[in-house]
Amino acid sequence: MDWKILFSTFLAILMAELGDKTQLAVVAIATSPAAAASRWSVFFGASLALVVACFLGVLLGHVLLRIIPAHYVRYAAALLFIGVGAWMLLSREG
């Protein structure tokens, strides 16, 4: 177990998820009358969803690494983030 990678991954994902639409969706579900008595069900359901999403991300990264050199994957990810950010800035209303 590489503790440095574990800790840096934990911090990166935690900071990315705080205030994200995923967290807001969990807040909305947890405050719904249907979930009033099932807070733990909301917690475990949301946790399982994030675990599955992260597993798929790691699996995709592993597969991509076998096909494409790592630096190209990083460049593509960076361009994707920049593209989404530019799209969000240009498409905002007001």
User: What integer pLDDT is reported at residue 93 of this predicted model?
Assistant: 61
User: What integer pLDDT is reported at residue 37 of this predicted model?
Assistant: 84
Domain count, the chain: 1
pTM listed for this prediction: 0.69
Domain boundaries, position 68: 3-91
User: What integer pLDDT is reported at residue 75 of this predicted model?
Assistant: 93
Tens digit of pLDDT per residue, the chain (94 long)?
999 999 999 998 888 888 788 888 898 899 988 887 889 999 999 999 999 999 999 999 899 999 999 999 889 989 998 998 888 888 866 5
Residues contacting residue 26 through CB under 8 Å, at least 6 positions apart: 42, 46
Q: How far apart (Å, rounded) are the C-alpha atoms in residues 82 and 29?
A: 31
